[in-house]
Every structure is written in C-alpha cells, then in structure tokens.
Structure 1
C-alpha cells in the first residue's frame, strides 16, 4: 500500500480515535480536578470569581492530560493498524 493510500485509509480511524481520546481525557480531567479542588467544575478563563493562578493551573493540568491521552490513543491506533495491515500509518 502506498504512503498516500495508507494515510488516507487511516484518516477515519484517526478521527474516531481522536473523538474517543477527547471524551476520555475530559472524563480524566474532571476526576483529577475533583481531587485538587472541592468545586465540581474547573474554572473557566472568564470566571471572574476565580483567580489567575487557579485558572492557569487548571488549564495546564487539562492540557497535559489531553496531550498524554491523545498521544497514547494515537500511538495505540497506529500500532493496531500496523498489526492489521503490516504498514505504519504515515
């Protein structure tokens, strides 16, 4: 399978995995935030009742969780495609 065809064939798989990763990362972040703060919801950047520090810490934790989950899901998906097709999706 050529590199272009392989990449095109992986695109729908990547989109589905990306959506799943987003949902998983969101759920993980909500659980982590409950451990950090007694509030149920993490602060939004426009919440005037929350301080800069709290907003930036929440954003940094959320970003880290999303990046790790996305990388793990993408890597797992690529590994699975290689096992099924014999080719690494480029």
Structure 2
C-alpha cells in the first residue's frame, strides 16, 4: 500500500481518535482536579474569586494532561495503521 493511501486511511482514524482523546483527557482532568483542588470544578480564568496561582496551576495541569493523552492516542493510532497497512502514516 502506498504512503498516500496510508495517509488517507489514517485521516478518519485520526479524527475519531482526536475526539476520543479530548473526551478522555477532559474526564481525566476533572478527576485529577477533584483530588488536588478540593472542590469539584476547575477555576474559570475570569472568576474574580479565584487567585492567579490556582487559575494558572489548573491551566498547566489541564494542558499537560491533554498533551499526554493526545500524544498517547495519536501514537496508538499510528501504530494500528502501520499494522493494518504496513506503512507508517506521516
């Protein structure tokens, strides 16, 4: 299978995996924030009752979780496409 076909085959897989990764990362972040933040909801950046430290910390944790989950899901998807097609999607 050509590399072009491999890229085309991976595109819909990548879209579905991206949506799944976002949902998984969001659920994981909520659980992590509950364990570390005390209350159930992460702070909204425009909430005047929350301090800078809490807001920036929440954004940093959220970004790290989303980045790690997205990388893991993308890597797993690319590995699956390679197993199916014999080509690594670029």
| CA-based RMSD | 0.9
Taking structure 1 as the reference length, the TM-score comes to 0.95
Runs of 5+ in structure 2 lacking a partner? Answer: none
Q: Indicate the residue corresponding to 1:56 in structure 2.
A: 56
Equivalenced residue count is: 90
Q: Indicate the residue corresponding to 1:88 in structure 2.
A: 88
Residues in 1 aligned to 2:86 and 2:10: alpha-carbon distance in whole angstroms: 13
CA-to-partner distance for each residue in 1:5-57, whole Å, 9 max, x for gaps? 32122111000000000000000000000011121100011111101000000
Taking structure 2 as the reference length, the TM-score comes to 0.95
Residues in 1 aligned to 2:5 and 2:50: alpha-carbon distance in whole angstroms: 49
How far 1:2 sits from its partner (Å)? Answer: 3.0
Runs of 5+ in structure 1 lacking a partner? Answer: none
Relative contact order higher in (CA < 8 Å, ≥ 6 apart): 2
